[in-house]
Structure 1
Amino acid sequence: MQYKSVTTEVLEIAYLDYGARDGWPCIMGHGFPYDVNAYAEAAPILAQAGARVLVPWLRGYGPTRFRFPQTLRSGEQAALGADLLAFMDALKIERAVVGGYDWGGRAACIVSVLHPERVVGLVSGNSYNIQNIARAMEPASPPHEAALWYQYFFHNERGRRALERNRRGFARQLWTMWSPKWQFDDATFDRSAVSFDNPDFVDVVIHSYRHRFALVEGDPAYAAIEAKLAAQPQVRVPTIAIDGDSDGVIPGTAHHAEKFEGFYQRRVFAGAGHNLPQERPAEWAQAVLDVRKAAS
């Protein structure tokens, strides 16, 4: 499938476009270390149900490119949210069902809380994905801390060099650990792995995992957004939140329910790990259809 691209103030955003142009807008975001192929099966299901499904590569992934060399290769949450809103503006999409998991789910949550008038409904893998950076240094349980080894690894230059030298090796290690019951083959991994060859991939990833612990400064262009997110605002758009019961990095998010107002439903995908839409495409697509129905 040939990708398209659209120009924003900061990026040339590459994306896949499924369904009729006059279909109801649906924007789905991938996570780290994945790419648009996470929706290769879910998106056609939604297109058949009348959606126009747009799946962009995030900054630092695939064919998406920064427009200017001087732009900080930031992976902070505010940048991801701003990119999603700019993507909607560039395509003249007034309102859409938005969703995603990991980084893509974070962007969808941010647009949902800061621009609810632009969101029909939200499907969020791992529920409330907005980082509470002010509390990032508070320790978690030993099992959860162990699962976050890669984040701490990326805090030092050994981790940066390791990722630069072996992007695919570390990505595959995380796929395996985070989705222990997902029997993906080499071809499936390789289709996504080419997205990690983006020249800005390492810089964006390293900045993301350092910024969320307040170890590096963010891009001043997004400081106002980060200030709003620091208040941990409520999600007030119709939401279906999803966890996998075999997620090797997120131990479950039932406790996030208090962050949602109005229609909220939590689903648990049996046997699924972290890459929810790719592991359970039909169930993910059904959640999108159901949240749209709930919003109507």
Structure 2
Amino acid sequence: MSTAPVFVDPEDESWGHHTLRDAEGHRVHLTRGGTGPAVVCLHGWPGGWFDYRLLRPLLEPVADVVLPDLRGFGGSDRPALPVAGYSRAAQAAVVLAVLDALGIERAVLVGYDIGSSIAIQVARDAPDRVVGLALGNPMNPAAGPLLLAPEHRGEFWYQDFHQLELASALIDGEPRAVAAYLGHFYRHWGGRQEPLGPAHLAALVRAYAEPGAFTASLNWYRSGSSSLPVAVAAARGDAPPAPPVGVPSAVVWGAADPLFPPAFSEGLEAMLPGHRLTVLEDVGHFVPLEAPGELAAAVRSLLPGG
């Protein structure tokens, strides 16, 4: 009989906490463990480096696993920048600065939710630095019409809400409000619920309830980098389609994700030609937490000799 992994608090020293500076001098927090080729894992919203607490032990025997907090999240700095400083391009630059600071020439990038968008941006900006991409339910530009369809558009209400100062006024610095709000997404977006349980949620709330933390996390949305404005821009023809991403890629799709259901994977080959797709029927949006074994297999397939 299998047993659930022991929960290790994210503040525990055994995770190997480090800090470094990005190219603009802002502090980046990360944890690191394992030996081998570099694997850098990029978290989602609502999340942080701890999204990968179950994946990291599976990869440590074969990889040097680096888990950064993106700018504005967790233990990383929340600088008072224009929202463009929190955009997809800016976050991709932070990831490249992490690689530089750690002396990593090339890495497999892992991402889901906003982390998948940032990983893809890094692969566009610096394909020579990326061995491959292992992604959970990535936003697929070809799915833009599905996202904007009246029967699905309501799933993205939170992205409109995040544009409002009211979001900060109601939630920022209020632990009970943070717990209620983030807990909604864990329950609604998640499929396999056990790893999204009380201990993990409590750690997440502790990080997001610090005054200013919740508002900083909204800068991703306020920068126009989230899926909704991207889909709207594509529908309007405001920007030409981005070229394909040429690095090898493996995608794990949680079919129980109400935000990005399985139909959203159709046409993904236009962005990720030749990708390998694994569909998991009982997994939702939080792929690294819900399906760490399956995601670890995807990562291993991209490593040398995989």
State the TM-score bracket (shorter-chain normalisation). Answer: 0.7 to 0.9
1:240 aligned to which of 229, 234, 250:
250
Matches within 5 A, 1:129-168: 140-164=148-172, 165=174, 166-168=177-179
Matches within 5 A, 1:107-146: 107-128=118-139, 140-146=148-154
Alpha-carbon shift at residue 119 of structure 1 (Å): 0.5
Matches within 5 A, 1:20-169: 20=35, 23-48=36-61, 50-66=62-78, 69-72=79-82, 74-128=85-139, 140-164=148-172, 165=174, 166-169=177-180
Q: Identify if the C-alpha distance between structure 1 residues 57 and 121 changes in structure 2 by more than 3 Å, giving closer, same or farther.
A: same
For residues 212 and 133 of structure 2, what CA distance do their matches in structure 1 show? 29
For residues 175 and 144 of structure 1, what CA distance do their matches in structure 2 show? 19
Match of 1:170 in 2: 181
For residues 193 and 21 of structure 2, what CA distance do their matches in structure 1 show? 36
For residues 247 and 110 of structure 1, what CA distance do their matches in structure 2 show? 23
Match of 1:186 in 2: 198
Q: 1:3, 1:14 within 8 Å by CA — same for their partners in 2?
A: yes
Aligned-partner SS, 1:247:
coil
Q: 1:62, 1:196 within 8 Å by CA — same for their partners in 2?
A: yes
Residue by residue over 1:243-295, the C-alpha shift from the partner in whole angstroms, topping out at 9 and shown as x without a partner, is 1010121123222221123x41111122111110111111110100012258x
Residue by residue over 1:27-54, the C-alpha shift from the partner in whole angstroms, topping out at 9 and shown as x without a partner, is 0111000122221111111111x20000
Q: Identify if the C-alpha distance between structure 1 residues 259 and 118 changes in structure 2 by more than 3 Å, giving closer, same or farther.
A: same
Unpaired runs of 5+ in structure 1? 215-228
Q: TM-score, normalised by structure 2?
A: 0.80
For residues 163 and 190 of structure 2, what CA distance do their matches in structure 1 show? 24
For residues 164 and 19 of structure 2, what CA distance do their matches in structure 1 show? 34
Q: 1:128, 1:256 within 8 Å by CA — same for their partners in 2?
A: no
For residues 118 and 105 of structure 2, what CA distance do their matches in structure 1 show? 17
Q: 1:62, 1:197 within 8 Å by CA — same for their partners in 2?
A: no
Equivalent residue pairs, number: 272
Alpha-carbon shift at residue 126 of structure 1 (Å): 1.9
Give the letter aligned to residue 164 of structure 2: N
Give the letter aligned to residue 277 of structure 1: P
Match of 1:195 in 2: 207
Q: TM-score, normalised by structure 1?
A: 0.83
Residue by residue over 1:212-244, the C-alpha shift from the partner in whole angstroms, topping out at 9 and shown as x without a partner, is 279xxxxxxxxxxxxxx9652311000012210
Give the letter aligned to residue 287 of structure 1: A
2:288 aligned to which of 261, 277, 286:
277
Aligned-partner SS, 1:191:
helix
Residue by residue over 1:125-174, the C-alpha shift from the partner in whole angstroms, topping out at 9 and shown as x without a partner, is 22356799xx89x9712332111111111222322322324223211111
Q: 2:191, 2:285 within 8 Å by CA — same for their partners in 1?
A: no
Identity, in percent, stands at 27
Q: 1:80, 1:103 within 8 Å by CA — same for their partners in 2?
A: no
Give the letter aligned to residue 206 of structure 2: V
Q: 1:109, 1:124 within 8 Å by CA — same for their partners in 2?
A: no
**Alignment RMSD:** 2.6
